[in-house]
């Protein structure tokens, strides 16, 4: 039997989560049809068609035919529910959400820089810095002790919006105020996956931060990866 831990490719993990989610409604439909007097063969076919329809829905999302993240939600919730049972590595469901979302976004087309927001967490700021960058990122001295200065350089070069969020509520308020069409978001797996699912229908590209000193403390980001995302999606 293949364990969930063996399903490293995000695409395989994504469709496995959808498959496991679809089993319950398929069984319920099968039992309802049997109680209604429909023969077992036809009831079984109906159940299998239900499972197949969920997989097709997942493929449509993956290819960018539909922007509705329901298949991603189905898979994510199922994998989270089964995580402890199958000893799935920590943050694997969250990283699957980020990877599959980014894969889907490849078909989204190009955006203008003035409708693009670079959104990063406050934990990127060095803990010894006395400046309140969440309120005024441009007060950064760009000393190089944290990646904020480099991110501001990237913002200036591409002409995008830039904001630092202190948490989920702060991030939502920033998005509502700026109203971007594209968000390039940096965060930990949990915040990034939940943010991607929450901001629909806004297109979001996720970049995972690096925990050089543990979670939520003096984190880092690969600015070259973020810059490559901007070059890929901007006009």
Please write the tens of the pLDDT for every residue from 55-98. Answer: 999 999 988 888 899 999 999 999 999 887 767 788 999 999 99
Instruction: Please name the helix (run of DSSP H) or strand (run of DSSP E) that holds residue 164, with its range, or none.
Output: strand 161-165
Burial of 108 (0-12, 13-18, 19+ CB in 10 A): middle
Answer whether residue 5 shows pLDDT above 60: no
> In this structure, are 65 and 131 located in the same domain?
no
CATH number for the domain harbouring residue 229: 3.40.50
- The total of other beta-carbon atoms located within 10 Å of residue 31's CB is 12
Measure the CA–CA gap between 127 and 139, rounded to whole angstroms: 15
The H-or-E segment that residue 205 falls in is strand 203-208
Same domain (yes/no): 25, 140 = no
Contacts 24+ apart (CB under 8 A), 47-51: 50/22, 50/25, 50/26, 51/19, 51/22, 51/23, 51/26
Domain count, the chain: 2
Query: Quick one: 51 and 132 in the same domain?
Result: no
CA pair distance 100, 18, nearest whole angstrom: 13
Question: Which of 104, 128, 158 is the last residue in one of the domains?
Answer: 104
Q: Residue 78 is part of which domain span? A: 4-104
The verdict on 175 and 204 lying in the same domain is: yes
Residue 175 confidence (pLDDT): 95
Residue 70 shares a structural domain with residue 173: no
Q: What is the pLDDT of residue 6?
A: 44
* DSSP class of 144: S
Based on the domain organization, do 92 and 179 belong to the same domain?
A: no
Question: CA nearest 76: which of 205, 163, 193?
Answer: 193
Q: Phi and psi at residue 234, in whole multiples of 5°?
A: -90, 155
Check pLDDT > 70 for residue 163. Answer: yes
Q: pLDDT (tens digit, 9 = 90+) per residue, 170-190? A: 999 999 999 999 999 999 999
**Comparison of pLDDT for 4 and 86, the residue scoring more:** 86
Please state which of the ranges 14-23, 40-49, 81-90, 218-227 shows the lowest mean pLDDT. Answer: 81-90
Structure-token pair, residue 73: 């939600």
One domain, residues 202 and 178: yes
| The model's pTM | 0.89
Domain boundary among 78, 104, 130: 104
| Measured distance CA(106)–CA(82) in Å, rounded | 29
Closest by alpha carbon to 111, among 161, 150, 70, 69?
Answer: 161
Note the pLDDT of residue 148.
97
> Helix (H, G, I), strand (E, B), or coil: what is residue 101?
helix
Q: Quick one: average pLDDT of 144-169?
A: 95
**Are 38 and 81 part of one and the same domain?**
yes
Q: How far, in Å, CA of 19 to CA of 26, rounded?
A: 10
Please indicate, yes or no, whether residues 84 and 118 belong to a single structural domain of this protein.
no
- Report how far apart, in Å, the C-alpha atoms of 219 and of each of 149, 183, 216 are: 14, 20, 6
- The last residue of one of the domains, among 104, 135, 157, is 104
At residue 188, φ and ψ (nearest 5 deg) are -75, 165
């Amino acid at each position: 039997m293949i364990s969930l831990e063996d399903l490293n490719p995000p695409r395989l993990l994504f469709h496995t989560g959808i498959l496991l989610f679809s089993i319950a409604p398929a069984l319920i439909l099968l039992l309802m049809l049997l109680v209604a007097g429909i023969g077992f063969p036809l009831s079984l076919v109906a159940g299998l068609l239900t499972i197949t329809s969920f997989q097709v829905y997942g493929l449509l999302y993956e290819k960018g035919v539909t922007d509705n993240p329901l298949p991603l939600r189905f898979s994510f919730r199922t994998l989270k529910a089964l995580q402890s049972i199958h000893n799935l590595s920590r943050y694997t469901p969250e990283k699957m959400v980020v990877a599959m979302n980014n894969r889907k976004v490849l078909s989204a087309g190009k955006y203008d820089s003035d409708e693009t927001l670079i959104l990063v967490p406050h934990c990127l700021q060095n803990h010894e810095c006395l400046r309140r960058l969440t309120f005024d990122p441009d007060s950064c001295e760009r000393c190089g002790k944290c990646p904020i200065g480099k991110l501001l350089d990237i913002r200036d070069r591409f002409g995008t919006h830039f904001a630092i969020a202190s948490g989920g509520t702060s991030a939502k308020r920033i998005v509502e105020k700026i109203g971007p069409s594209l968000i390039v978001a940096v965060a930990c797996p949990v915040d990034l996956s939940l943010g991607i699912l929450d901001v629909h229908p806004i297109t979001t590209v996720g970049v995972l931060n690096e925990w050089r000193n543990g979670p939520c403390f003096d984190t880092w980001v690969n600015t070259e990866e973020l810059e490559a995302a901007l070059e890929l999606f901007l006009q």
